[in-house]
Structure 1
């Protein structure tokens, strides 16, 4: 290899290293100074999570470290290039090439740029690694707080008793609850007491048009449901949005209450404001037992809601495999029964 070719190859390598070092230095500088200038805004912004701001600061440190490595590599390559170029040129017995390289200003510029990048990298890496240490400490403290939170919670908030305050509003008692609220909570004796004082409360409606029976069915209070039905509650009443006791029980998945209501002659295919039947509500909630009970009771499988979904379509759309199987088994039973007939 001739000295000129060797010098050209080394110059190209040095130029590439210097370019990469400069890019890394600029990126790390931009990140460090931008993070410092907008640190408060990033923490206060709801669009940037706190964890993201903690991660971005170490990124600048990593870029600064890469810049430092590349700058040192550039400086080392310059020195090695000077040594080996002088050696190669000296081997030819002609020192003009070596003298040309050693005195050429381009090599001096390469070394100067490399040393400058080293200084900038050291300056940037210091605060970057400081930010990394601070971020790590924050994350460590946060993890420890989460671990200790389940073991010990020390509150510095004064209680009302410590402040000398008195409770001005007494807690709600059973006497202050309506018959609808008592039915929803399953207070059987309290509901019976209200009905004994005022029989008109049996089918009374609240602001939504719900009766005590509807509230008991919606919350799965089977004892209250049985007591109200024995007392003469009307299970066919519809609320303002056409909800029925059967619809509410099906939505909650209370198959036992559904069976009880079906024995009292309710409309099994009654629909609410959006065209949902008790069967559709049971399918939507993935309540397999309710679906079985309604199918045995004669629920219409072809009835579609306003959205256009039939019970089977809805089960497939929601991915309720067990409900799909229950419907398929019911259809097969119907087909076998018709075949035998």
Structure 2
């Protein structure tokens, strides 16, 4: 027997068959960040707890949240030399160029302080090698100042400009001499910079060349290196 129409069913005193209501599917959407989650993420970042970093991110913690100093979790991890946490944040998509209130990014700070593991992570994820710090300098300038041989090598290979002049009027080559002690590691740094095209004729804000500085500071090995490279 065919199914009765609603009117026929009503005439016969029977109810028409019921059409089931469509199921309501709950879609809660992505997790939402909260101050508590962000505090947990920052705490994990600075204590180098990579597992807790990943857990906080999965729960929805904002990866670009800012603390009172304008630091992101990645900048906070970098300044704590928390390499595992920094790697977890970078893998989760943290911006390696985001700067804090002091104009430090993870890339700039890692380069300046010789945090080579973190530096490599930033370079592998879009670091802006031409970015500058609050002194108007590239990452290479403080790396040279600190005599960080391997960091200087990494930054040169990454394409950081070697002849950039910062706000005080220094290049990486000038800072390696003026703030260095003429020891073997500074000789290495100076040699790397010269090999990469550093111009020894660029003068500081007072009109002095790097060779004049090296002579005045008694850095004999660097003087010999500069003279051999026509540093006049």
Give the TM bin, normalised by the shorter chain: 0.5 to 0.7
Residue matched to 1:228: 122
Determine which of 212, 217, 225 is the counterpart of 2:106: 212
- The CA distance in 2 between the partners of 1:250 and 1:222, in whole Å, is 14
Q: How far has the Cα of 1:268 moved from its partner?
A: 0.7
Do structure 1's residue 322 and structure 2's residue 217 form an aligned pair? no
Larger Rg: 1
Determine which of 172, 182, 185 is the counterpart of 2:77: 182
- The CA distance in 2 between the partners of 1:276 and 1:292, in whole Å, is 17
Contact 2:98–2:106 under 8 Å retained in 1 = yes
Contact 2:74–2:86 under 8 Å retained in 1 = yes
Contact 1:186–1:223 under 8 Å retained in 2 = no
Gaps of 5+ in 1: 1-171, 333-341
Query: CA 1:186–1:175 in structure 2 vs 1: closer, same or farther (change >3 Å)?
Result: closer
Aligned to 1:331, the other structure's residue is in SS state: coil
Query: CA 1:194–1:304 in structure 2 vs 1: closer, same or farther (change >3 Å)?
Result: same
Residue matched to 2:197: 298
Aligned to 2:141, the other structure's residue is in SS state: helix
Deviations 1:18-57 (A, max 9, x none): xxxxxxxxxxxxxxxxxxxxxxxxxxxxxxxxxxxxxxxx
Q: How far has the Cα of 1:278 moved from its partner?
A: 0.4
Query: CA 1:264–1:175 in structure 2 vs 1: closer, same or farther (change >3 Å)?
Result: closer
Name the TM-score, length of structure 1 as normaliser. Answer: 0.44
Contact 1:181–1:215 under 8 Å retained in 2 = no
What pairs with 1:41-120 in structure 2 (closer than 5 Å)?
none
Residue matched to 1:265: 159
- The CA distance in 1 between the partners of 2:187 and 2:219, in whole Å, is 9
Residue matched to 1:289: 188
Query: CA 1:194–1:207 in structure 2 vs 1: closer, same or farther (change >3 Å)?
Result: same
Do structure 1's residue 253 and structure 2's residue 147 form an aligned pair? yes
- The CA distance in 2 between the partners of 1:245 and 1:215, in whole Å, is 7
Name the TM-score, length of structure 2 as normaliser. Answer: 0.63
- The CA distance in 2 between the partners of 1:292 and 1:183, in whole Å, is 29
Query: CA 1:315–1:328 in structure 2 vs 1: closer, same or farther (change >3 Å)?
Result: same
Q: How far has the Cα of 1:317 moved from its partner?
A: 1.6
